Amino acid sequence: MGKVYLVGAGPGDPGLLTVKGKALLAHADVVIYDALVGSPILDLIPPTAERIYAGKQRGAHTLPQEQITALLIEKAQTRAVVVRLKGGDPFMFGRGGEEMLALVQAGIPVEVVPGITAGMAASAYAGIPLTHRDLSSSVAFVTGHEAAGKYRPQVNWRALAEAVETLVIYMGMHNLGYIAAELLAGGKDPATPVALIRWGTTPEQEIHLLRLESLAGQPSPAAPPAIVVVGAVVNLASLLPTLYPLAPSEPQ
């Protein structure tokens, strides 16, 4: 029997892939990869390895989650090194916990290899420190897209409005108008700066700077994939250098 490695591919810049992740790709027999893993990282996979695309995007899942899990179990029974390659970090809104639990229950050896999560890296590349001694002593990573069919949402946006100084929101673009309205209802200052960072850490990176009040109840001004950063630290984006210096939009 082989072993499954849940490998975080990082946020997009291939230079941010970990040394261990790169080594595992070089020795992989099978690689099952997600939608947000770019070609520079996929090019590290040896030609002898089997590649299986298992990407998920809003409204379009190549393979349902149950089938992905079954595939991991099947491949581990016949191959030595099975790499499950996920964008960002497997345990940060990547369903890595679900897959690891299923593999353990099936008796399959499994190991997680953490990756740099997009919320941290995209913010850094946009010149936004998530914490700053004078501006923010707390940060929360939150999903803006919860599982369908939940009895009630787990994210209490109104409570977060006052409890946390910096919010980093994943997969929130389609619900951004609702999220902004809830944060305002919870007492967040309407002038709170917001950054929308598309394709963070890649040459296609875009930075949109706005005010929270301009987003409430409105369609998102940018399309996914994007990370949303809410908080006073966003104001530093116009003062600090970015890796890909694009002209951000003016706060509205």
Q: Is it the case that residue 249 has pLDDT exceeding 80?
A: no
Q: Is it the case that residue 97 has pLDDT exceeding 60?
A: yes
- Cβ 2 vs Cβ 113: under 8 Å: no
Q: Is it the case that residue 129 has pLDDT exceeding 50?
A: yes
Q: What is the pTM of this model?
A: 0.91
Whether residue 89 is found in the same domain as residue 130:
no
Q: Is residue 205 part of a domain?
A: yes
How confident is the model over 242-248, as a mean pLDDT?
A: 55
pLDDT at position 246, please?
Answer: 46
Whether residue 132 is found in the same domain as residue 215:
yes
Whether residue 103 is found in the same domain as residue 160:
no
- Cβ 116 vs Cβ 9: under 8 Å: no
Q: What separation in angstroms does the CA of 132 have from each of 24, 25, 154, 229, 233?
A: 36, 36, 28, 14, 7
Residue that finishes a domain, picked among 91, 113, 135:
113
User: Rounded distance, CA 243 to CA 71, Å?
Assistant: 38
User: Rounded distance, CA 68 to CA 54, Å?
Assistant: 7
Whether residue 63 is found in the same domain as residue 128:
no
Q: Is it the case that residue 220 has pLDDT exceeding 50?
A: yes
Rg (CA), the chain: 19
**Is 4 exposed, middle or buried, given 0-12, 13-18 or 19+ CB atoms closer than 10 A?**
buried
pLDDT at position 86, please?
Answer: 97
Q: Is it the case that residue 166 has pLDDT exceeding 60?
A: yes
Give per-residue pLDDT as tens, 6-22: 999 999 999 999 999 99
Q: Is residue 140 part of a domain?
A: yes
Whether residue 127 is found in the same domain as residue 226:
yes
pLDDT at position 148, please?
Answer: 52
Whether residue 126 is found in the same domain as residue 213:
yes
Structural domains counted in the chain: 2
Residue 211, domain CATH: 3.30.950.10
pLDDT at position 250, please?
Answer: 41
pLDDT at position 5, please?
Answer: 99
Whether residue 82 is found in the same domain as residue 129:
no
Give per-residue pLDDT as tens, 142-160: 999 876 555 456 899 999 9
Whether residue 130 is found in the same domain as residue 225:
yes
Containing structural domain, residue 51 = 3-113
pLDDT at position 196, please?
Answer: 97
pLDDT confidence band for 55 (50 / 70 / 90): confident
pLDDT confidence band for 24 (50 / 70 / 90): very high
Question: What sections of the chain are H helices per DSSP?
Answer: 19-26, 39-42, 65-76, 96-105, 118-125, 157-163, 176-185
Whether residue 138 is found in the same domain as residue 160:
yes
User: Rounded distance, CA 238 to CA 201, Å?
Assistant: 17
Whether residue 104 is found in the same domain as residue 160:
no
Catalytic residues: 34, 56, 171
The share of the chain scoring above pLDDT 90, in percent, equals 83
Residue 79, domain CATH: 3.40.1010.10
Whether residue 200 is found in the same domain as residue 151:
yes
Q: Is it the case that residue 23 has pLDDT exceeding 80?
A: yes
pLDDT confidence band for 29 (50 / 70 / 90): very high
Residue 14: closest CA among 226, 227, 242, 203? 203
Mean per-residue pLDDT over the chain, rounded: 92
Give per-residue pLDDT as tens, 56-91: 766 555 789 999 999 999 999 998 999 999 999 999
- Cβ 146 vs Cβ 181: under 8 Å: no
pLDDT at position 225, please?
Answer: 93
